[in-house]
Amino acid sequence: MLSLSRGRPGFATLGGLFILIATVVFVSASATRLVPAQEALDLVIAGGRVMDPESGLDAVRSIGIRRGKIVAISSEPLTARTIVDVRGLVVSPGFIDLHSHGQTDENYRFKAMDGVTTALEMEVGTAEVAAWYAQREGKSLINFGATVGHIPARMAVVGDKGDFLPRDEGIRRRLTDAEQRRLLGIVRRGLDEGALGIGFGIAYVPAATRKEILDVFEVAAERGVACFVHLRSHGAVEPGSAIESAQEAIADAAATGASLHIVHVTSTGLSQTATLLRMIEGARKHGLDITTEAYPYTAAMTGLETAIFDEGWQEKMGIGYKELQWVATGERLTAESFARYRKLGGMVVIHSIPEEIARLAVAHPMVMIASDGIITDGKGHPRGAGTYARVLGRYVREQQALTLMNALRKMTLMPAERLAKATPAMSAKGRIKIGADADLAIFDAARVIDRATFENPAQFSEGFAHVLVNGVFVVRDGKLIENTKPGSAIRRK
């Protein structure tokens, strides 16, 4: 009945074997559980161009879904209670965003309309892992998860008054030995509670010594989780360049054995991005587990009150006041408004990344796509809403900077593999295969495009016809389904 990806014997054999085993299980279980051997499918996604970066499958197939899992991939028609005709559309594994600060209903809506089925807060993370998950369980449109964060743990230890990022003690204060032990205690407890790794934003806590960071890497190595790191500094000015900062993190990974993921390589690397990529490739070649990511934009965003804007920021980033855009109003800054808003605190867009640097990273086969996005009451950076459609529309279709399959690999399989070693549940994501979770992004490759702009970031991407999370539609016929909560917690356990 199931003709599985003709011409790809490995995939067909494995899939066939699985079905054989599944049939045997159903038959033997049927006496006790009354599960019929040929249970009907819940849903068929019929006749789309199915693209799976793991197997290389790129062909017209129908996908059968039952209880949130992919249970059939067939070149013949399948029957089910619900059949959705997706002829002419690409069927991809749902996108996995490793760097999604926005973890609210508002943000999940923008993510779903951009093809994202799993949004993970890996860089900043949280100090209260159990509570963080409890707030979202059973209430989320898409899948979610987080690291335990060095930044929030440090803020808790020193009593920083900042909200999301440190603004006083967390930035300036060295930890005592007792405080350092408390910090490591928070990190260990977070991992016990299922955190997906350890997040770092060293640039936000310049008082954190190299020893403090190394000790936290050691905990990651002990527990077999990766470190997700915003490096200590950015740009080309020495000392304190992005290269020096990458050397710190790579050395900590080498010295402890921890895996390392360097976040947003473009906004950190700036003019040194190609060198950073060369360093990461070299370290990988010599046996270290190091990965990286980028977003497809020519601007960064962060808090104006943070240590990023300490003395010397213009030289480090190679920009001036007018390259800063105050998110609340959209205005470009001057020396006067910079000083005023820095005291107030709030998000600022930083137009600092040359287009050729953004394109270099987006097209580089080693670099994953991740948004670094957050939208709050409609305000923010367009990356929170448009990252994935922008890569597919602008860089794949319009500029042909990379192939569609390579783009999908950077959005699905690569982030899943980054996490799978510590979090086995991720082996069932980022793939279209028998037994995988039915997280799917179904889009029109000729039409998909971002609509979010710096002036108006709160705009849904276009071209996603259907998006499924655990077999449930969160986008159907191009429209968001609001009253559904199929998202599940991604935990390391």
Where does this chain touch Zn ion (CB under 5 A) — which range of 71-79, 105-113, 223-231, 272-280?
223-231
Residue least distant from Zn ion (Cβ): 230
CA geometry: angle at 405 spanning 403 and 408, to 5°? 110
Q: Which two tokens stand for residue 483?
A: 């009253």
Where does this chain touch Zn ion (CB under 5 A) — which range of 33-41, 73-81, 168-176, 226-234?
226-234
Question: DSSP strand E in 344-463: where?
Answer: 347-350, 367-369, 375-376, 379-380, 440-443
**Closer residue to Zn ion in complex, CB, 76/310:** 310
Question: How many residues comprise the chain?
Answer: 493
**Closest CA relative to residue 488, chosen from 142, 257, 48, 168:** 142
**Closest CA relative to residue 61, chosen from 403, 424, 433, 372:** 433
Where does this chain touch Zn ion (CB under 5 A) — which range of 47-55, 181-189, 230-238, 389-397?
230-238
Q: Minimal distance in Å, beta carbon 492 to Zn ion? A: 22
Strand order in the sheet with 198-201: 95-97, 116-126, 143-149, 198-201, 226-230, 259-262, 290-294, 367-369
Identified binder of Zn ion from the candidate list 109, 167, 230, 234, rule CB under 5 A: 230
**Closer residue to Zn ion in complex, CB, 302/423:** 302
The tally of CA atoms less than 13 A away on the side-chain side of residue 236 is 11
**Closer residue to Zn ion in complex, CB, 230/316:** 230
Q: How far is CA 369 from the centre of its chain?
A: 7
Cβ pair 493, 226 in contact under 8 A: no
Q: What is the DSSP letter of 91?
A: E
CA distance 430 to 136: 22
**Closest CA relative to residue 222, chosen from 185, 188, 179:** 188
Q: Minimal distance in Å, beta carbon 255 to Zn ion? A: 23
**Closer residue to Zn ion in complex, CB, 4/347:** 347
**Closer residue to Zn ion in complex, CB, 277/425:** 277
Where does this chain touch Zn ion (CB under 5 A) — which range of 142-150, 224-232, 312-320, 401-409?
224-232
Q: What is the DSSP letter of 429?
A: S
Q: Minimal distance in Å, beta carbon 307 to Zn ion? A: 12
Beta bridge mates, 100: 373
The set of residues, in sequence order, having a beta carbon less than 8 Å from that of 402 and lying 6+ positions away, is 362, 363, 365, 395, 396
Q: Minimal distance in Å, beta carbon 264 to Zn ion? A: 6
**Closer residue to Zn ion in complex, CB, 63/350:** 350
Q: Which two tokens stand for residue 268?
A: 């950190």
Cβ pair 370, 99 in contact under 8 A: yes
Q: Minimal distance in Å, beta carbon 252 to Zn ion? A: 17
**Closer residue to Zn ion in complex, CB, 230/409:** 230
Q: Minimal distance in Å, beta carbon 439 to Zn ion? A: 26
Q: Which two tokens stand for residue 276?
A: 């950073």
Residue type, 360: L
Where does this chain touch Zn ion (CB under 5 A) — which range of 26-34, 81-89, 135-143, 222-230?
222-230
Q: Minimal distance in Å, beta carbon 171 to Zn ion? A: 15
Cβ pair 246, 279 in contact under 8 A: yes
Q: Minimal distance in Å, beta carbon 201 to Zn ion? A: 6
**Closest CA relative to residue 306, chosen from 198, 246, 371, 234:** 234
Where does this chain touch Zn ion (CB under 5 A) — which range of 51-59, 66-74, 229-237, 479-487?
229-237
The set of residues, in sequence order, having a beta carbon less than 8 Å from that of 349 and lying 6+ positions away, is 299, 300, 301, 324, 325, 327, 381, 454
**Closest CA relative to residue 270, chosen from 305, 246, 303:** 246
Q: Minimal distance in Å, beta carbon 277 to Zn ion? A: 17
**Closer residue to Zn ion in complex, CB, 230/492:** 230
Helix (H, G, I), strand (E, B) or coil at 296: coil
Q: Minimal distance in Å, beta carbon 101 to Zn ion? A: 9
359 binding Zn ion? (CB under 5 A)? no
Draw the binding track, 178-217, toward Zn ion (x: CB under 5 A; -: no contact). Answer: ----------------------------------------
**Closer residue to Zn ion in complex, CB, 136/230:** 230
**Closer residue to Zn ion in complex, CB, 300/472:** 300
Q: Minimal distance in Å, beta carbon 99 to Zn ion? A: 8
Q: Minimal distance in Å, beta carbon 31 to Zn ion? A: 55
Q: What is the DSSP letter of 100?
A: B
**Closer residue to Zn ion in complex, CB, 173/230:** 230
Size of interface with Zn ion, in residues (CB under 5 A): 1
Cβ pair 115, 412 in contact under 8 A: no
Where does this chain touch Zn ion (CB under 5 A) — which range of 9-17, 158-166, 184-192, 227-235?
227-235
Draw the binding track, 407-426, toward Zn ion (x: CB under 5 A; -: no contact). Answer: --------------------
Q: Minimal distance in Å, beta carbon 263 to Zn ion? A: 5
Give residues in contact with Zn ion (CB under 5 A).
230
